[in-house]
Structure 1
Amino acid sequence: MKKMICLSRRLLLIVLLFGLSACSARRTDAPRLDSPSNLTPFLPGLTPSRNAPTLRAPTLVSVLPSATPFAHVLMAGETISALAERYSVSVDEILTVNPGLQPQVLPVGQVILIPAPSVASQQALPTPVSLPVSPVRCSPQPGGVWCFALVSNPSAETIALLTGQMRLLDSTGQTIQTQAALALLDNLPPGAALPLAAFFSPMPTGVYGAEMRIITALRLPVQAAPLAPVVRNLFTQVDFRGRSASVAGYVFLPENATAANQIWLAAVGYDRDGELAAFRRVELLTAPAPGQALPFSLKLYSLGNALWRVEVFAEAH
């Protein structure tokens, strides 16, 4: 009888020790969630707000049809003067349809517009591709208000040069203030959705609604689209109130991709109903070599609705 009791005690001790060892095992496949020093935010920190109003749905206005310039993906060694000669346009005409382009520094892989020779003197913008756009929402923040709308790309082609115009309206529909609405990335990948956002500072009085129209959206042929980095092993941890999310993963640069200096990440958060709830762009100041991966981590804050899931897109620069 005593031997049986001793044997039972030993078995119980072994089971307890085995159980404690199993419970103490830590998950090692998820990337660390601490923020590395090489992350710099593109948009200011967005503090949680439960009073982000949903303003009336926008009236989408199309740009008047015009002769359509086409896209050119910059290659190593190309110059603006050489492109102007090749396409029978002037340097000034190329610079006019590409505001902010610096002729002395042409990043390889950047998409620029080449105006049609017959209408180059008219400085025409391309007719934007028709894309689904969500209703505009605005979220008051310290110093002003963010207004944003989600733009989707249902096609199998990349959309480049996506820009918009955001307007704040009074109760009569008159414009109070206008701002450029910019995307988180230069290109909108096939099947993806990214917000166009504008910040109004300070927030005007008498705002009744907001609307946005797409100014430029150019469809790139598959063979002309730059090879995008791939986000892998995405790990998202949302706090219990849904006000913030810690996101980590790896960004992989395909072997046949052009070497990059930086990686831009666009994090987009949605609530349980699939409505846009948060967004942020983060720039990795280093980039993986082709065929290699680089870990990243970031923090995302809700603009009002509780976060439910997060998507991350990457772009090489």
Structure 2
Amino acid sequence: MAECFVRFFSLLLAVVMLSACASSQFETEVSQNTNFEITPYLTSTDDQIDPSKVPVLTPTPPPLPTPTPFIYIVVTGDNFITVAARFNITYNELLIANPDVGNPSFLSVGTELIIPTGEGDGGPPSLEAPTQVPVIESLPRCYPTASGGLWCFLLVQNDRLVPLENLSALVSLYDSRGMEQTSRIALTPLNVLWPGESMPLVAYFPPQAPPWDKVQAQLLTSLEVPTNEERYLTAVVENSQIQISGKGLQGRVSGIVRLQDEQKSASYVWLAAVAYGADGAVVGVRRWERGGIESGGRIEFDFLVFSLGPTIESIDILVEAGP
């Protein structure tokens, strides 16, 4: 047993000695192989780079978001003046931002208006504010109604050689002490006032209108129709008949409307019957509306106009047609 143990121990010692010799030889070989020289490899690229020859890359800035204009939808009773006042902007600012609107005084319900809100609001920046032009004004006249309201008329005359549009005025009521009680915007029954014609601006004060002693009016807007404007067609009234009855408190007007250019057609026709008293003051007005006229056609009209004050002495018929 002791002899076997001695043999096993001797064998184990021999194995350990052989392993040590192999490890020493491997380390010697590794040590010898780690001493190597790096050979540089030549390329066509220069070692020194000239910074002036390095292209500068300019990053493309991301596009800025386009401002979304504020759109207002017209409701019943709206016009440019009331909308401008609602959003605390001027009439001209609203007009410049909406150059394609046909008649700022009479807007169709559902019309979309661009409301200027600063830079990038969608209004054409190249347009300039239109120039206001003077007109001949008469003193305003007011007539109370049975319900406690008040109708006021401001007669204006176009003494220029071009038609006018977008006429408006501010009518104010004052008490006996000269204190302003209330005011309303006065507008014309038609969009356009042709050269040489007169037309009233009309303001209505609903019940109960405050007590007043004096009325004053201030013209707000009056613009020339551009010479290249095609929003209005020249129409003429033919075979007109005017009958004043009812003790002079009503008048009946009838006749025919025809387009002067028979090659064109109109999408709408408006008439305004303006009633005058003995002193030449407006006592009543009524607008009549009908559909269009085909090219070469005509349209008949027949309607009444009433006086809000003195008896009617004469009646004028004004006409407007548009493509």
Residues 97-246 of structure 1 correspond to what in structure 2 (within 5 A)?
Answer: 102-103=111-112, 117=126, 126-143=130-147, 144-224=149-229, 226-239=232-245, 241-246=247-252
SS at match of 2:137: coil
Query: What are the superposed Cα offsets for residues 5-26 of structure 1, whole Å, 9 maximum, x if unpaired?
Result: xxxxxxxxxxxxxxxxxxxxxx
Q: Which residue of 1 aligns with 2:266?
A: 260
Q: TM-score normalised to the size of structure 2?
A: 0.59
Query: Aligned partners of 1:115, 1:172: CA distance in 2, in Å?
Result: 46
Query: Aligned partners of 1:279, 1:169: CA distance in 2, in Å?
Result: 24
Q: Which residue of 1 aligns with 2:307?
A: 302
Q: Which has the larger radius of gyration?
A: 2
AA matched with 1:303: L
SS at match of 1:237: strand
SS at match of 2:97: helix
Q: TM-score normalised to the size of structure 1?
A: 0.60
Tell me how many residue pairs correspond in the alignment.
215
Q: Which residue of 2 aligns with 1:72?
A: none
Distance change >3 Å, CA 91–CA 298, structure 1 → 2: closer
Query: Aligned partners of 2:95, 2:192: CA distance in 1, in Å?
Result: 24
Query: Aligned partners of 2:95, 2:162: CA distance in 1, in Å?
Result: 29
SS at match of 1:117: coil
Q: Which residue of 2 aligns with 1:95?
A: 98
Q: Which residue of 1 aligns with 2:78?
A: none
Q: Which residue of 1 aligns with 2:84?
A: none
Q: Which residues of structure 2 form unaligned runs of 5+? A: 1-90, 114-122
Query: What are the superposed Cα offsets for residues 236-266 of structure 1, whole Å, 9 maximum, x if unpaired?
Result: 1111621111110101123356422221111
AA matched with 1:145: L
Distance change >3 Å, CA 228–CA 257, structure 1 → 2: farther
Q: Which residues of structure 1 form unaligned runs of 5+? A: 1-67, 70-89, 105-113
Decide whether the 8 Å contact of 1:254 with 1:292 is kept in 2.
no
Q: How much identity, in percent, do the aligned residues show?
A: 30
Query: What are the superposed Cα offsets for residues 112-160 of structure 1, whole Å, 9 maximum, x if unpaired?
Result: xx87738x7xxxx645211111111111113311011101111121001
Greater relative CO, 1 or 2 (CA 8 Å, sep 6+): 1
Q: Which residue of 1 aligns with 2:11?
A: none
Distance change >3 Å, CA 287–CA 176, structure 1 → 2: same
Decide whether the 8 Å contact of 1:158 with 1:222 is kept in 2.
no
Distance change >3 Å, CA 176–CA 195, structure 1 → 2: same
Decide whether the 8 Å contact of 2:262 with 2:297 is kept in 1.
no
Query: Aligned partners of 2:96, 2:192: CA distance in 1, in Å?
Result: 23
Distance change >3 Å, CA 93–CA 305, structure 1 → 2: closer
Q: Which residue of 2 aligns with 1:14?
A: none
